[in-house]
Amino acid sequence: VEGRQAVAAALRRGYRMIDTALFYRTEAEIAAGIRLAGLRRSDVFIATKVLQKAHASDAQVRRSLEESLRNLQTDHVDLYLIHNPRAGRIKQVWSLLLELRDQGLCRAVGVSNFGVAQLEGIREAGLELPEVNQIEIHPWRQLPEVVEFHQRHGIATMCMAPLARGRMFGRSDLAALAAELGPT
């Protein structure tokens, strides 16, 4: 119940993008939070991710998406991501995600936590490159080589953990810099 209330509160304050994963077990609460906020599904951009253990077979990848769709009470997700490259069978799973997108089950497909080598592997296999790579980027972790690869190949960089997972609060001059420059 607390999860759906947090989602609804964020949506009421203007948030319109929700990033989740089947692994997080939050999808049903997200669907409930959208309803609680009084919004339509089409008002919210939802990104979710393939369950890592589902990489074992194409059938399991498809079931992973179907379970997410049931949990989210929707017929499609806006962005469906491979959660990380360690799950294996990347080229096969990526090809299947492209098919699922073409079937209308996800509007866009991408990857998460991929470096240049993994992205290059997809490119060298002759496959369409991801539309998005979600990576941890913040003032203390820049990853310029990955971002430059994205720019060269038309991949959107989606930042996660922009506040360094809270580890840097009070340990840097960032607050003083923000105060000096005026942004909130």
Q: Is residue 15 annotated as a catalytic residue, yes or no?
A: no
d(CA 70, CA 27): 9
Token pair belonging to 59? 């059938």
Q: What crossing angle do the helices spanning 116-124 and 144-153 adopt, rounded to 10°?
A: 30
Residue 135: strand pairing partners: 159
The active-site residue, picked from 9, 12, 24, 88, is 24
CA–CA separation, 97 and 106 (whole Å):
8
Residue among 177, 122, 140 at smallest CA distance from 132: 122
Length of the chain: 184
Adjacency order of strands within the sheet including 156-160: 17-19, 45-49, 77-82, 106-112, 132-136, 156-160
| Contact predicate 51/64, CB 8 Å | yes
* Residues carrying an active site annotation: 24
